[in-house]
Amino acid sequence: MDSELTGRTAELMLRVALGNPMTTAIYEGLCAGNSQSRVHGIAVCYAPTVEVLRRAAVERKTLILSREHPFFLHGGLHYGYTSGGLEAALKDDPVAQAKRELISANQLMVLRFGGAWDVFRPKAASLALARAMGLNPIEPDPRDRSRSVVCELPRTRIATLAQTAFERLRAQAPRIVGDPDAWVTRLGVLAGETDPSPALAQRLADQKIDGLVAGAGGTVDEVDGAIAYFRDVIATGRRISMLAVGYGPSQEPGAAEFANWVKPVFPKLPLEWWPTPDPSWIPR
């Protein structure tokens, strides 16, 4: 019965529903908690913050399905970290320790789905971001496995899209790279990290693209050189501007969509999407 599911059984059910892509995605699956604990309810979120975990404990949502890892970056306390150092650095960290204790004391489990979902539906996050901003994505080629999507829109200032992101995504600190007064008519949309290659270069190969809406790595947005790359694109003569909405706000619509998709996998369990507010802000 669903009411007697353990975390491990829930993980296996999710793997089957996703076509078992977790075998190719590192730092995924049940990455915190006792996998034999019972699942009383499920919360879906972008980031399993302490606030989310405390709420889960109160509301008995003992399984948290999250886009991001509970112990920061892309490693974790249950895995070896390929670049070295992270697991050792967090071993005695008081924040990580407090989080582990919170999870253990309340028999919580955190299951990270981000990479597996991206393998299963590469464009899902970007499609959700475009729709959340009121844009109409062009139907992609079924053979296109890139993460980004394209939207055509009436001639619109990129600054107007920044206001849209503030209002519709509740992005507290959207920023523009390039001319804020630039007009755009064909927009690339790319949720999450905006790595120069292949994601950004792949989308910008379409020379008709004159604007980009991207996560761009959040407030530390030079992740993998995305902003530097884009500035160089402009400097080499291309008339184009980017709206960086922040990593978290760009991923939230996709987390909400994932919550709707995953409900039929666990039909007898209470399941909710819990949004994570944008932590950044700019004094105005």
Q: Check residue 63 and give its pLDDT.
A: 98
Q: Check residue 28 and give its pLDDT.
A: 83
pTM beyond 0.75: the answer is yes
Tell which residue, 111, 97, 128, 83, has the closest CA to residue 15. Answer: 111
Q: Which of 91-100, 120-129, 274-283 has the lowest mean pLDDT?
A: 274-283
pLDDT at residue 221 is higher than 50: no
Helices (H), 171-210: 201-204
Homologous superfamily of 124-249 in CATH?
A: NIF3 (NGG1p interacting factor 3)-like (3.40.1390.30)
pLDDT digits (tens, 9 = 90+) for 54-100: 999 999 999 999 999 898 756 545 555 455 566 677 778 899 899 99
pLDDT at residue 215 is higher than 50: yes
Burial class (CB in 10 A: 0-12, 13-18, 19+), 48: buried
Q: What is the mean pLDDT of the chain?
A: 88
The fraction of the chain above a pLDDT of 70, given in percent, is: 88
pLDDT at residue 196 is higher than 80: no
Residues 6+ apart with CB under 8 A from 88: none
Residues 6+ apart with CB under 8 A from 27: 69, 74, 75, 76, 79, 112, 115
pLDDT at residue 240 is higher than 70: yes
Sheet holding 109-112, edge to edge: 29-32, 109-112, 63-66, 42-45, 271-273
pLDDT digits (tens, 9 = 90+) for 151-191: 999 999 999 999 999 999 999 989 999 999 999 999 999 99
Span 2-120 CATH architecture: 3-Layer(aba) Sandwich (3.40)
Burial class (CB in 10 A: 0-12, 13-18, 19+), 78: middle
* Ramachandran area for residue 164 (φ above 0: left; ψ -120 to 50: alpha; else beta): alpha
Q: Looking at the chain, which residues constitute the CATH 3.40.1390.30 domain(s)?
A: 2-120, 124-249
